[in-house]
Amino acid sequence: MEELKYVIYIGAKPEDVWRIFVTPEGTKAIFFGCILESTFEVGAPYRYVGPGNDGDQTVHVYGTVLEFEENRRMSYTEHAGPSYRDNHAELETRITLTLEPVGGCTKLTLVNDRWPDNHPSYESTKESWPMILSNVKTYAETGKTLDFGW
């Protein structure tokens, strides 16, 4: 399966965009009410937890931190939460997020790769990343999120 790669430009400083990805306030806004739980140390586990199939503490995705360079780069493995797929442990992909200053804005590059053959979430993930990244851009620039009608 092909890697998913997205590049967008955001009218905010890299450290402001970064905070959206790592603080409870930011992740709750862009990841549909989920909070990111992690120490962010390389090798540490992480999980996005929020309202879902298993109540308010549903684990939506989880994995291991591979790289963490504050305000610049983060990479981690990703598995769908246990309530989504019975074989969640074997469905591992990798996400790498890079932030670069460009003039007075930030270039955000997101790569979601290492897809196992026939991953059941590939098509839905391909559709959801543009929504999430659009939410990041809107939130960073306006303090508001988009209304997707959910």
Question: Does the pTM exceed 0.85?
Answer: yes
E-strand stretches of the chain = 4-10, 35-38, 45-52, 55-69, 73-80, 93-102, 105-113
The pair of structure tokens assigned to 39 is: 């120490």
User: Running DSSP on this structure, what letter comes out for residue 85?
Assistant: -
45-78 pLDDT, tens digit each? 999 999 988 889 999 999 999 999 999 999 999 9
* 9: Cβ contacts below 8 Å, ≥ 6 apart: 102, 105, 106, 107, 108
Ordered structural domains, the chain, with CATH: 4-142 (3.30.530.20)
The pair of structure tokens assigned to 97 is: 């997020």
81-98 pLDDT, tens digit each? 988 888 999 999 999 999
CA gap 136, 123 in Å, rounded = 21
Q: Is the pLDDT of residue 100 over 90?
A: yes
Q: What percent of the chain has pLDDT over 70?
A: 99
Mean pLDDT computed over 24-29: 94
If you average pLDDT over every residue of the chain, what do you get?
95
